[in-house]
Amino acid sequence: LLTWSSLVFGHQLLLLLLSIGVGVKTLGFHNPHHLKYLTLWWTASRIIQNMDPTSEPCNDFYQYACGGWLNRHVIPESSSRYSIFDKLRDDLEIILKGEEQKGLAVPAATFSKFLLRSNILGSKVPPSSYSYALRSFPALTFYEFKFLEPYWVMEEKLSMMNSQFNKRLLIDMFVWNDDRDSRSHIIYVSTTPGPSAQLGVREAYLQFMISIAKMIRADLNFTKDDEFVENEMLLVMKFETEIANVSNNIKAWETKQLLSSNSNVLSITPYQVSTPFSQNFNWTVFIQIVMSSVNINILENEEVVVYGVPYLQNLQEIISKYPARTIQNYLVWRLVQDQISNLSHRFKEARVSYRKALYGTSLEDVQWRECVRYVNNNMESAVGALYVKQSFAGESKRMVSDLIQKVREVFIETLNELQWMDELSKKRAQEKATAIREQIGYPDYILEEQNKKLDDEYYQLNFKEDMFFENTLENLKSNAQKSLKKLREKVDQDVWIIGAAVVNAFYSPNRNQIVFPAGILQPPFFSKQQLQALNFGGIGMVIGHEITHGFDDNGRNFDKDGNMLDWWSNFSSQHFKEQTKCMVYQYSNYSWDLAGGQHVSGLGTLGENIADNGGIRQAYKAYIKWVEQEGQEPRLPGLNLTHEQLFFINFAQVWCGSYRPEYASQSIKTDVHSPLKYRVMGSLQNFEAFSEAFHCHTGTVMHPEEKCRVW
């Protein structure tokens, strides 16, 4: 499909563009037509470089679309996976670093101080500062030898972890939108999906635990007793593994099913006995201590939604087998493990072998990256303001809103094609799709001058300029309390659940809302200058993906207002399950070489696969409609590719990337998304329009006879 000459042309083109890049700017290249023209050449060279045009698109489309990129990139020593998507995230961090160094006017006054100080942490802060701070960890003995069990009260420990350190262990108690009434908040109790040290990394994990425990004990001047520490940490690991085994067995969808019958909405009343995990554990005390951290009294008959009742029953049994000392050490270990990145270098060194075993990485990220990431995660509005001012073209908002409208229309029109759904359910689906609300780019207020609202988000933080570690603890507390505080408040539907400087997109079932932060509104996903074929294959597909999440195996349980409510007829509901079985089977058949031939979990990735398949189909149709209305676009120079082909290639190229084998083995068990390669293969194998665009014969790998389709 590509001639050799065009391939060579493509490479020459890139060199040319790079060398004149600076000249273009200094010559004052203002004519928008010229800019558009330049973009065509630039895009053509990007696309051809990522491809392997010598391979057969109908046989292995991933290799065809991504072979060039895969050939030219090695995974950085500090990364477990490297893809075009990951590269965008890396580049975004470079932009944020630049913003910080320029010392631009910063909206939230506290922010700059914090960022600047945190950037020079590490070697410059004396280790004694950390060990001092560690004393403030859960007040009691820390890996202590003599442990006074009778004085240990589990309700107190768990609630302190929850409210002071935002660390929800053993019992996940939190405040969130009430699934049954999306306008208000409610208390949830749920399983804590535990990490379980997989076979193969257990030894490295244990060594990591032991070295950290020894270091901290030494810092705190505890008596040296290596044998005790080794035995104790082995027990902690055993305990953790048992917990993980029971918590990971309970799939999210199973617990959701339970909820729909309302059978597990409990009241905190004197009838404690009937609740699971109640023997020797006082729920009222536990929840009351957590909520008192934000001055909220729980009511006589406070409602609590409980997910994963079987887990809580198992938990009871496991806990009774271990001494309180081990449980306490488990709690502290989990807290400390999360904090390693914020501690000085010697702590990070202790986890090198463990990380190698788990992720395959041999280097830590450089300091400034960790720093930028940390601040972006914890102060997303302030960082978002910096990013948007620097890198976001305001008109993108309107253009993306327009694209959302087009993809949404197609989703609704496509409902007519579905044989498995009856008219009533289709009408409800249409209503839900119409009601989906959108957030694009960033919340407007973050750009305002004299920003009181932004400052208010951070005013309660008690940062000290040269105490980075203490500041991170301050953040933990503040994050915990921010969400607990909401219990008696109405849900603010306009609040942004994510920062602007994020390369990702979201769907929230409780809000029936899609979110596209500024960070994802850039090439290859989107650009005002790039061809619409590429915009639809990029951000158009992402929009369709997020809309379809509202109708996947989880999202479909919520109605147009975000309430968990069964709006399906029996007929449609039954057939929905039939349709999804096909996809479960299809993806389960993928055996992933990088993960030692392990199979993808068709059930675990179902929701994402439904979204991927719907997304690509809707975006494609929306593009075809766009061409019918607006006419054909110019071709990309030097490439013998149709627009339909470009649409699919740009879609695939978003997912070009590779994994370290260690991480592949890990992520195939934990990631709710299919591996990048199968995200591309799976959804295109199901789509006739793809086979047409590339003239694939029936029976080729990319055009199998049996196709799965839900939406």
Distances (CA, A) of 385 to 108, 112, 325, 390: 10, 12, 46, 9
The contact pattern for Zn ion, residues 575-614, with x = CB under 5 A and - = no contact, is ---------------------------------x--x---
**Structure letter (DSSP) for residue 191:** -
Is residue 444 flagged as an active site residue? no
The contact pattern for Zn ion, residues 471-510, with x = CB under 5 A and - = no contact, is ----------------------------------------
Closest distance to Zn ion from the beta carbon of 60 (Å): 24
Q: Which member of 470, 552, 608, 612 is catalytic?
A: 612
The contact pattern for Zn ion, residues 608-637, with x = CB under 5 A and - = no contact, is x--x--------------------------
Q: How many residues bind Zn ion (CB under 5 A)?
A: 2
Q: Which is nearer to Zn ion, 289 or 611 (CB)?
A: 611
Distances (CA, A) of 239 to 140, 197, 232, 324: 20, 11, 11, 11
Q: Which is nearer to Zn ion, 246 or 611 (CB)?
A: 611
Dihedral sign for Cα atoms in the order 477, 479, 482, 487: negative
For the chain, the residue count is 711
Q: Which is nearer to Zn ion, 608 or 644 (CB)?
A: 608
**Strand ranges for 371-512 from DSSP E:** 437-441, 506-508
Closest distance to Zn ion from the beta carbon of 590 (Å): 18
CB 111 within 8 Å of CB 454 = no
Nearby residues of 504 by Cβ (< 8 Å), 6 or more positions away: 498, 517, 519, 520
- Rounded Cα gap, residues 527 and 534, in angstroms: 9
Nearby residues of 630 by Cβ (< 8 Å), 6 or more positions away: 532
Q: Which member of 100, 240, 470, 546 is catalytic?
A: 546
CB 654 within 8 Å of CB 62 = no
CB 92 within 8 Å of CB 521 = no
Closest distance to Zn ion from the beta carbon of 433 (Å): 17
Place of tokens 């949830």: 188
Is residue 612 flagged as an active site residue? yes
**Structure letter (DSSP) for residue 220:** T
Q: Which is nearer to Zn ion, 530 or 609 (CB)?
A: 609
Q: First vs last Cα of the chain: how many Å apart?
A: 31
Q: Which is nearer to Zn ion, 100 or 608 (CB)?
A: 608
Nearest to 384 by CA among 503, 275, 301, 207: 503
Residues pairing with 515 in the sheet: 439, 506
Q: Which is nearer to Zn ion, 86 or 455 (CB)?
A: 86
The contact pattern for Zn ion, residues 119-138, with x = CB under 5 A and - = no contact, is --------------------
Q: Which is nearer to Zn ion, 504 or 569 (CB)?
A: 504
Closest distance to Zn ion from the beta carbon of 286 (Å): 34
Closest distance to Zn ion from the beta carbon of 613 (Å): 12
Closest distance to Zn ion from the beta carbon of 626 (Å): 24
Closest distance to Zn ion from the beta carbon of 509 (Å): 12
Catalytic residues: 546, 612
For binding to Zn ion (CB under 5 A), which residues are involved? 608, 611
